[in-house]
Chains A and B, each alone.
Chain A
């Protein structure tokens, strides 16, 4: 019995010493999570022997808030969308990140000049990729009623039921949908958020959505988008570009992405306030936002946030990155959505119920 106890304690203590350096990293899973694991997490584990728990969540700041408020911080590093980052940082839910420790680019350029300004614009996070929301159609199921057999190429086409009859799928939330409604209604890209902050502008956006309400399908998770396009549930879907890209590339689906009016945004790595492993969290972020790990995000067609990474991108993928289509795109405004996210969320639900 004593011997057994001794053995147990031996195992226990040795396990304990292994787990000493441990880091919990939380991101969005799916193909994106796989790419991060391959290019950021695994190389870091190899280099430093840190034990990493890599989990996924579905965004939002509720879990971070709950952990910080209860004083039981389980997550160290989170991949956070800028919309949420703005709020989380200004509410003191995240640590301020020491930008001065970020390593130089692979070409020797100082981090401050190497990163795009957007990537370091918030004091709590380091941008780790550009992604975008666009719409895609299925070449096989698309029906074109108009005399000229143009393929859909603009946001207005998405709202044109006569030309392209059939269901369209959007994510069930006001974000991006209201921006698109205004763009399709003729509002110039630069004015979208100004118009949308007025009552008339909001009405205008909902009216435009109303014009195709009967052909709209709503989904709750990005993974449903390529699915709907594939099985004919919808002829056009709103999607994160990476998911359509991997459906085309990996599964050879007849999908086509339409870049007009795409709404792009950044994700960033941030450290949860009160993390018990702050030092290794900083170390991980410094490592994973290096030129080489960042360029690995091209696996899922998400753009790097460092200029130096562009020389590591394959030519085939360059044209599929949000950064190659900035001219026709709109940068998602985190300020706008932290101002109007809740009130438009209510109005959106009211409109759905009509």
Chain B
């Protein structure tokens, strides 16, 4: 048999053809790629960057930061009078440009209560000429006595650092003290919220398995026609708006709601039970919303399992339960893994439902991220909290991969 050897021209041509094919394939994927880069990768990258890059004060008070750098803040003295002169000049300028508020907000984050001090001082400076600005501590303290506090100067210096890990420290309930050591903050809130959100997501995932697994099993055992009708019932929550679903749970669970009135009517209870605004309400309404994510992968996997395996096991003398545990269950693992991952990851970032039905217990890590985005305007801290959440999910995913094996996951 003569071996087929391509001459160089043919090799070139085939390479060209392959390249062309690749280019066409790339063009097919291009819209998706552009979409992912624009709507996903760029925002996440900018969020990560924002959580460590913090130039506001360094940009607005550049000279003050430079002269403050030579001040040893661990020493128990105020910075030199020169700092006051430079600072006054820069604040005077900021007051005229109406930007003193941004500086005030940054310093206030380190020393709560200093925003009004900086803003009122700026208003004061706006009224005077450059020559009348204070050039010494004695003169500045006359404007406002609070300027004699070393904490504020320390805060100005600290907020002048452009690349900082402070937001991550805060997100872990830590802070740096005057001498630069890391210690716990007075307010302990974020770690607790992370743990609480993780716990809740875990409960919801486990309960979804408990409810979803038998349901999926039942769906594959009944005739297709009945199964289809029941499947529609499972999918129904998907077609209803999230808010409608959540508010209908409010109507069901509230003190004088459907469930309580019914139970009272048939004399099972005499006093209404408090169900709304509890963790129970959060869990039940979130399971309702997330159950399809568990049932669908399970169903599609179970559908493809040949029932003769179970029959074989039983006819070979296995008891039903061990047969189920050792034959059937391992074959559904891929669907179970996919469902659990979906439910867990979706529920950890949820916040509308817990906020509406959870009451005091409805405070999740995502609520506090929203709080820092919307009302406290601390976007840097929100970015740090979000990045940590992302990191936690990635770690969970890695652990999960170790235990279950991501290649085993089957979505259908």
Contact B102 A91 (CB under 8 A): yes
The answer to the question of A345 belonging to the interface, with a C-beta cut-off of 8 Å to chain B, is yes
* A 337-350 to B, binary, CB cutoff 8 A, 1 in contact else 0: 01111111111011
B311 beta carbon closer than 8 Å to chain A: no
Complexed CA–CA distance, A233 and B276 (Å) = 9
- Which of B188, B356, B377 meets A87, CB within 8 Å? B377
**Chain A interface main SS type:** helix
Q: Select one of A65, A218, A346, A349 contacting B277, CB under 8 A.
A: A218
Q: In the complex the two chains form, is A342's CB within 8 Å of B99's CB?
A: no
Nearest CB in chain B to that of A342: its residue? B376
Complex CA gap A334/B287 in Å reads 41
Cβ-based interface call for A352 (8 A): yes
A101 to B196, CA, bound (A): 55
Tell whether, in the assembled complex, residue B109 and residue A350 are in contact, meaning their CB atoms are under 8 Å apart: no
B374 touches A60 (CB 8 A): yes
* Cβ of A335 under 8 Å from chain B: yes
Segment touching A, from B27-35, B85-93, B114-122, B230-238? B114-122
**Chain A residues in 8 Å Cβ range of B104:** 90
Q: Please tell me which one of the listed residues A89, A216, A233 contacts residue B360 in the complex, with CB atoms under 8 A apart.
A: A216
Most chain B beta-carbon neighbours within 10 Å: one of A60, A90, A167, A231: A90
Cβ of B373: which chain A residues have Cβ within 8 Å of it? 62
Within 8 Å by CB of A349, from B102, B116, B368, B378, lies B368
Among residues of B, the one whose C-beta sits closest to the C-beta of A230 is: B256
Contact between A62 and B377, CB atoms less than 8 A apart: yes
Q: How far is the CB of B180 from chain A (nearest CB, A)?
A: 22
Q: Which residues of B contact A232 (CB under 8 A)?
A: 254-256
Query: Which positions 60-107 of chain A face chain B at CB distance < 8 Å?
Result: 60-62, 65, 87, 89-92, 96
Contact B374 A62 (CB under 8 A): yes
B192 adjacent to A353 (CB under 8 Å): yes
CB–CB B112/A353 < 8 A: no
Q: How far is the CA of A173 from the CA of B108 in the complex (A)?
A: 19
What chain B residues lie within 8 Å of A65 (beta carbons)?
377
Q: Is the CB of B375 within 8 A of A60?
A: yes
Whole-angstrom distance between the Cβ of A339 and the nearest chain B Cβ: 5
**Cβ-defined contact, B377 with A61, below 8 A:** yes
Instruction: Give chain A residues whose Cβ lies under 8 Å from the Cβ of B105.
Output: 87, 91, 338
User: Assuming the A-B contacts A60-B374, A218-B360, A342-B376, are A90 and B98 also in contact, with contact meaning beta carbons closer than 8 angstroms in the complex?
Assistant: yes
Asked if A353 meets B193 with Cβ closer than 8 Å, knowing A341-B376, A342-B378, A343-B112, the reply is: yes
Q: Nearest Cβ in chain B — how far from A201, in angstroms?
A: 12
- Nearest B-chain residue to A93, judged by Cβ: B101
- Do A233 and B255 touch (CB < 8 A)? yes
- Beyond A87-B377, A340-B112, A341-B375, whether A217 also contacts B277 by CB under 8 A is yes
Task: Give the CA-CA distance A220 to B376 in the complex, in Å.
Answer: 16
A349 nearest CB neighbor, chain B only: B189
Bound: A341/B105 CA distance, A: 11
Q: Give the complex CA separation of A349 and B192 in angstroms.
A: 10
From residue B47, how far is it (CB to closest CB) to chain A in Å? 13
Query: B-facing mask of A215-230, CB < 8 A → 1, else 0?
Result: 0111010000000000
Residue B355, interface by CB 8 Å: yes
The answer on a CB contact under 8 Å between B356 and A220 is yes
- The interface residues of chain B lying within 8 Å CB-to-CB of A90 are 98, 100-101, 104, 119, 122
Is B359's beta carbon under 8 Å from chain A? yes
Distance A61 CA – B377 CA, assembled complex (angstroms): 8
B181: Cβ under 8 A from any A Cβ: no
Q: Could you say which residues of chain A place their CB within 8 Å of the CB of B405? A: none
- Given the complex of chains A and B, what is the CA–CA distance between A217 and B255 in angstroms? 12
Instruction: Say whether, besides A65-B377, A89-B98, A231 and B193 are in contact (CB < 8 Å).
Output: no
- A314-354 CB mask vs B (1 if < 8 Å, else 0) is 00000000000000000000011011111111110110110
Determine how close the nearest CB of chain B comes to the CB of A221; give it in whole angstroms. 9
B363 interfacial contact with A, CB 8 Å: yes
CB pair A342 B363 closer than 8 Å: no
Please indicate the chain A residues that have their CB under 8 angstroms from the CB of B109 in the complex. 342
A197 within 8 A of B: yes
Set of chain B residues within 8 Å of A339, measured between Cβ atoms:
108, 112-116
Known: A339-B108, A345-B375. A92 touches B98 (CB 8 A): yes
Which residues in B have their C-beta under 8 angstroms from that of A218? Answer: 277, 359-360, 362
Contact A91 B375 (CB under 8 A): no
Cβ contact of B112, chosen from A167, A231, A342, A352, cutoff 8 A: A342
Q: Which residues of A contact B193 (CB under 8 A)?
A: 349, 353
What's the nearest-Cβ distance from chain A to residue B283, in Å? 18
Q: Are A345 and B376 in contact (CB under 8 A)?
A: yes
A207 to chain B, nearest CB (A): 16
B97 at the interface (CB under 8 A from A): yes
* Chain B, 343-397, CB within 8 A of any chain A CB: 355-356, 359-360, 362-363, 368, 371, 373-378
20 new A-B contacts at CB < 8 Å, known A87-B105, A232-B255, A350-B189: A60-B375, A90-B98, A90-B100, A90-B101, A92-B98, A92-B99, A197-B113, A218-B362, A220-B355, A231-B257, A233-B254, A233-B256, A233-B276, A338-B105, A338-B108, A339-B114, A341-B375, A349-B363, A352-B360, A353-B192
Closest 10 CB pairs of A and B: A90-B101, A343-B112, A91-B101, A342-B376, A232-B256, A92-B98, A350-B189, A60-B374, A62-B374, A339-B113
Binding site for B on A (CB under 8 A): 60-62, 65, 87, 89-92, 96, 167, 172-173, 197, 213, 216-218, 220, 231-233, 335-336, 338-347, 349-350, 352-353
23 sample A-B contacts, Cβ–Cβ < 8 Å, listed by A number: A62-B375, A87-B101, A89-B98, A89-B101, A90-B122, A91-B99, A92-B98, A92-B102, A172-B355, A197-B113, A213-B360, A220-B356, A232-B255, A233-B254, A233-B276, A339-B114, A341-B375, A342-B376, A343-B112, A350-B187, A350-B189, A353-B196, A353-B363
